[in-house]
Homo-oligomer: A and B are copies of this chain.
Amino acid sequence: MPNRTVFFVSDGTGITAETFGNSILNQFAAKPRHVRRPFIDTPEKARLVAREIDATFAAEGKRPIVFITLIDPEVHDIVALSKGLVLDMFQTFVEPLEAEFGIKSNHRVGRFDDISKNQEYTDRIEAINFALAHDDGQSAKNLDTADVILVGVSRSGKTPTSLYLAMQHGVKAANYPLIPEDFDRHALPKPLAPHKEKCFGLTIAPERLAEIRHERRPNSVYASIENCRREVAAAESMMRREGIGWLSSTHKSIEEIATTILRDIRPDRLIY
């Protein structure tokens, strides 16, 4: 699909418009050009975007696809009247909900009113700080306040997962590496012993691990396939022995790993 453009137009960050639009475009084997237009919150800005959409149509000869999340009716109507194919999640779904709830929607723009007074938001920032302070076994302090402790060999995906859990879910995730010394001692690292029920393991295919480690330290023993095989086998047998739940990060995105962990270790977080 050459010469086709997709616009994401929003009065806020456009994150909702993009998540929404991309998940739908993913259903097509097409790679259209993407254009983001965030913070479109006045009629003047809306007119500029509408003009841009119309100009794109004229230049490409094909209607641009336009995903919008625009609350203000005046701003909304200006973009909706452009010559693109406008797909509007809000108008489509807000009406049936107004009928169901028996109340009017408030036409509120944005996710947070005032960030500095929002507890959910404060929790997320605090969780990020916690993840950073407890990255890579840096500190065994306050592990009792962790929601989850990720364990696994170096480069198995612990750090990005713990940051994601913090940033998106406000979950306090520490992470702790399993290193050859632990395998020799045939025991979990001491600081983890009292918190075994909070541990969650990440493993990874040795071939993939070797690839990742080679990028970091080319041609090292650390990155060699033999060493990766040995470490992964030892880590998996330790997790099995200690009864720690685990999954493989080889073919999974951070988002998928994080969601699985939430479901398994903190099912209460599935209801909020």
Segment of A82-90, A144-152, A182-190, A195-203 in the binding face: A82-90
Within 8 A of B (CB), among A10-24: 12-16, 19-20, 22-24
Distance of A115 Cα from B159 Cα, bound (Å): 17
Distance in Å: Cβ of A40 to nearest Cβ of chain B? 11
CB <8 Å contact, A167 and B254? yes
Across the interface, do B121 and A253 meet the contact criterion of CB distance under 8 Å? yes
Of B28, B34, B92, B103, which one neighbours A28 at CB under 8 angstroms?
A: B103
- A89 pairs with B90, CB closer than 8 A: no
Tally chain A residues at the interface, Cβ within 8 Å: 81
A14 to B90, CA, bound (A): 19
Copies in the complex: 2
Which residues of chain A (97-149) have a CB below 8 Å from chain B? 97, 100-101, 103, 105-108, 110-112, 114-116, 121, 124-125, 128-129, 132, 135
Minimum CB–CB distance for A60 against chain B, Å:
13
- Residue in B4, B63, B116, B253 whose beta carbon sits within 8 Å of that of A112 in the complex: B253
Q: How far is the CA of A108 from the CA of B25 in the complex (A)?
A: 10
| In the bound complex, CA of A37 to CA of B105 (Å) | 26
Residues in A lying within 8 Å of B, measured CB to CB? 1, 4, 12-16, 19-20, 22-30, 33-39, 63, 65, 69, 71, 85, 87, 89-90, 92-94, 96-97, 100-101, 103, 105-108, 110-112, 114-116, 121, 124-125, 128-129, 132, 135, 159-160, 163-164, 167-168, 208, 250-256, 258-260, 262-263, 269-272
29 residue pairs bridging A and B, Cβ less than 8 Å apart: A1-B101, A12-B256, A13-B259, A15-B259, A16-B23, A19-B20, A24-B90, A24-B93, A27-B90, A27-B97, A27-B106, A28-B103, A33-B271, A33-B272, A34-B271, A35-B271, A36-B272, A65-B97, A65-B100, A85-B96, A92-B92, A111-B253, A115-B252, A115-B253, A125-B160, A125-B254, A129-B159, A132-B135, A160-B167
